[in-house]
Amino acid sequence: MQKRKSVLDGGCWAPLVVAAMLVACGDGTTAAVVDVADNAEPDPDGSEPDTSSNPDTVGPETIVAEPAFVQVLLDENASMSFGLSKVFEVEVPTDVVSMTVSVIGDDATFYGLADWTGPGGNALVTKGWVNTDEGQGGLCLSCKNRIALSGGAFATIAPNNPAAEVTAGCHTFSLFGYEPPKVVQGQGRCGDGICHQVDQFQCARDCRSTSATGPVRVLVHAKMAAGGLPATGVLDLNLHFTGAQGLSAASAQTDAGFRATIESVRSSFSQVRLDLSTLTYRDIDSGYRTIESLDGEGSDLQAMFSESDGNPNALNLFFVDELSAAAFGGFGVILGIAGGIPGPPLVQGSSRSGVAIAIKPIAGAPAGIDTTMAHEVGHFLGLFHTSEQAFFGPQVHDPLPDTPDNDASYLMFNTGAGNKLSEWQGRVMRSNPWVRHPAPQ
Amino acid sequence: MTAALLGTSAGTTLAAPPLRPEPVTVPAPNDRFDAMLRAIDVVPPDRASFEAAFPDAWARLDAVARDAKRDTWSRVRALSLLSYFVEPRTRATLEQVLADADKDIRRQAIYTLGRGFGASADVALVRFIEARTADPEQDVGEHALRSLRWVDHPEAKLALERIAEKGPATLRELARKTLDKRMLRLNGVPRGD
């Protein structure tokens, strides 16, 4: 991992100094500002998002004319010890509309936040949650800002619901990480220190997770907008082709079916005034056509997502024939997978930097390529399933107030067959640093 | 779980394959199970959770996998999820549906057989899978080959080397890549050639 010293390292007061310097210099386009409005390229079809029918205030946000930009508040190489990191402090400037915290680490390790507190003791992630049953499940439902642990790299975006207000001032957080046991099929002697499949049931001591150690890269991004989150945004995509279904970077640009898929996704996202903008087409190794493992060191998916290194600053979509998700002692075929909820923003080349979509047609598949693509991009931008179906635990709903429970007509329902997006879902998506807000023409 | 559930050597002998059909006891419809089967990005975290949620999970998967009237996606999902049950009755199901007319079903059945039973596979199973690489449908042959990545027995390496060197031209490159992936899985490094 490359050693990078953050210009903002040094606690909550240092960023104030840097921010003041930027203002004094009259230069808002420093290296710390990674997203500017004037790098927008025209849409391939020349269209602009239609905002003519928007009232001044729509749902939870305020319409503003000026664009937003993203500022890097922290980019630091740190280390984990006994499963925890030091406490990080960042000073969040005024005009913040959203924040993301990302951790890029070892492929075999799961990461998350142990706690996150904003000004006035505002606990966005509750300290101690990792020691509860929720911590065992890797999903903090009781946290004001919901987070899900993730392997290899982790990210969270706040606010991801109305209760999780992000305000200017001093924010502190620390990281949590663990390495799950490597499971070996067959059987061995209990106490041999090897986690065999049967040990899951018969010898838990051989299957303990270990506390994370080693280096991680920690990033904090803040989206800034003087008048609140813009009501529109655009998303750039890097489209990676493995040769699945005969599609290549060249053929996909003229393939009627693929173009229709892109237009369908564009149509879905237009509900929340999010448009697709610059599309970059790229071929990658055909060895990624079938993804047989998703997690852990050397997994197919993580290797494929790492292929995003050096690509334009855009969300990565990988088109494959088939995806198999392995779990403890088994696997299952799936249609799509996102690098996280959300995936790490504005980071290329990490083992979680992308979304993969299976495009091999199978009769009876519950969702089309277009809705699967939109669904997984929704995850990557920070959306949870509107409702889980209590398959393997209690029923869980997303933390948003305007997504009905158990409504399969919603895009983020777990079958992925719906199409609807709510205003709050749109807000979460547009809050993500991957979404740009070009200046009005 | 007992040793009988783990695909012991007795359960992997193909000289006398356990082709006796399971008693046909189709479970009553269960909307929750069907919703799980049709989820696009959800798999059970482990067998214990799977069976806690659906105590008759195996019987339901088995019924869907065998049911030619069901849609292909549901059957493919069921065949893949049978990998949570590495035991003789699962092998029997997989071997029986290898005769299915739908190539996507044969494709998934041979893959689950190789991947699911890879840790306990013997020479006979490797040869059985290798023979399936010659399926008239290239898709099926490719997936049979891919499944050898997950087979620990050294014969799997030899089979992949045979295909890489003398197999059909359409499979040679895939065999080389699968060899690399298998070595990476077993040793943490690719072949190096």
**Quick one: pLDDT at residue A325?**
87
**What is the fold, at CATH topology level, of the domain defined by A233-436?**
Collagenase (Catalytic Domain) (3.40.390)
B43–A335: do the CB atoms touch at under 8 Å? no
Answer yes or no: are the C-beta atoms of B101 and B71 closer than 8 Å: no
3-class state of residue A178 by DSSP: strand
- The percentage of residues in chain B with a pLDDT greater than 90, rounded to a whole number, is 66
- Give me A4's structure tokens: 């990078």
What are the structural domains of chain B? 26-85 (no CATH), 98-193 (1.25.10.10)
B44–A202: do the CB atoms touch at under 8 Å? no
Instruction: Work out whether strand A322-327 and strand A336-338 pair parallel, antiparallel, or are unpaired.
Output: unpaired
- The percentage of residues in chain A with a pLDDT greater than 70, rounded to a whole number, is 82
Enumerate the residues of chain A whose CB falls inside 8 A of the CB of residue B106.
none
B184–A330: do the CB atoms touch at under 8 Å? no
Range name among A16-25, A314-323, A324-333, B92-101 with the lowest pLDDT average: A16-25
Answer yes or no: are the C-beta atoms of B85 and B5 closer than 8 Å: yes
Q: Residues with Cβ < 8 Å from A278, sequence gap 6 or more?
A: A41, A236, A237, A312, A314
**Quick one: pLDDT at residue B4?**
26
From the list A198, A300, A379, which residue is nearest B1 (CB)? A198
Average pLDDT, chain B: 85
Tell whether the model's pLDDT for residue A13 goes beyond 60.
Answer: no
- The more confident residue out of A37 and B117 is B117
Per-residue pLDDT band at A185 (split at 50, 70, 90):
low
B185–A415: do the CB atoms touch at under 8 Å? no
Instruction: Work out whether strand A336-338 and strand A330-334 pair parallel, antiparallel, or are unpaired.
Output: unpaired
Per-residue pLDDT band at B134 (split at 50, 70, 90):
very high
Which DSSP string do the residues of A227-258 spell out, in sequence order?
A: TSS-S-EEEEEEEEE-SGGG--HHHHTT-HHH
Task: Give B20 to chain A, closest Cα distance, Å.
Answer: 24
A230-261 tens-digit pLDDT? 999 999 999 999 999 999 999 999 999 999 99
From the list A185, A201, A331, which residue is nearest B119 (CB)? A185
Q: Which amino acid does the sequence have at B87?
A: E
A414–B42: do the CB atoms touch at under 8 Å? yes
Give the max Cα distance, chain A.
Answer: 70
Tell whether the model's pLDDT for residue A105 goes beyond 70.
Answer: yes
B102-112 tens-digit pLDDT? 999 999 999 99
| Average pLDDT rounded to a whole number, residues A66-71 | 84
B80–A332: do the CB atoms touch at under 8 Å? yes
- Give me A289's structure tokens: 């056509």
From the list A290, A324, A364, which residue is nearest B80 (CB)? A324
Tell whether the model's pLDDT for residue A307 goes beyond 50.
Answer: yes
Average pLDDT, chain A: 84
Nearest chain A residue to B184, by CA: A298
Per-residue pLDDT band at A64 (split at 50, 70, 90):
very low
Which DSSP string do the residues of B89-117 spell out, in sequence order?
A: HHHHHHHHHTT-S-HHHHHHHHHHHHHHT
A415–B50: do the CB atoms touch at under 8 Å? no
Enumerate the residues of chain A whose CB falls inside 8 A of the CB of residue B32.
389-391
B77–A333: do the CB atoms touch at under 8 Å? yes
One fold for both A13-178+211-224 and A233-436?
no
Give the domain ranges of chain A.
13-178+211-224, 233-436
Q: Is B3 on the interface with A (CB under 8 A)?
A: yes
Nearest chain B residue to A296, by CA: B185
Tell whether the model's pLDDT for residue A103 goes beyond 60.
Answer: yes
Per-residue pLDDT band at A194 (split at 50, 70, 90):
confident
| Average pLDDT rounded to a whole number, residues B85-106 | 96
> Residue A12: beta bridge partners?
none
Nearest chain B residue to A384, by CA: B41
Nearest chain A residue to B69, by CA: A364
**What is the fold, at CATH topology level, of the domain defined by A13-178+211-224?**
Jelly Rolls (2.60.120)
Distance, in Å, from the CA atom of A196 to the CA atom of A182, rounded to the nearest integer, reads: 9
**Quick one: pLDDT at residue A33?**
53
User: What's the distance, CA B138 to chain centroid?
Assistant: 17
Chain B contact probe: residue of A288, A292, A372, A419 with most B CBs at under 10 A: A292
From the list A200, A201, A416, which residue is nearest B40 (CB)? A416
**Quick one: pLDDT at residue A197?**
66
A58, A46, A67, A48: which is closest to A435 by C-alpha? A67
**Quick one: pLDDT at residue A200?**
64
Per-residue pLDDT band at B12 (split at 50, 70, 90):
very low
Per-residue pLDDT band at A326 (split at 50, 70, 90):
confident
From the list A328, A335, A372, which residue is nearest B45 (CB)? A328
Q: Is B189 on the interface with A (CB under 8 A)?
A: no
Q: Residues with Cβ < 8 Å from A16, sequence gap 6 or more?
A: A91
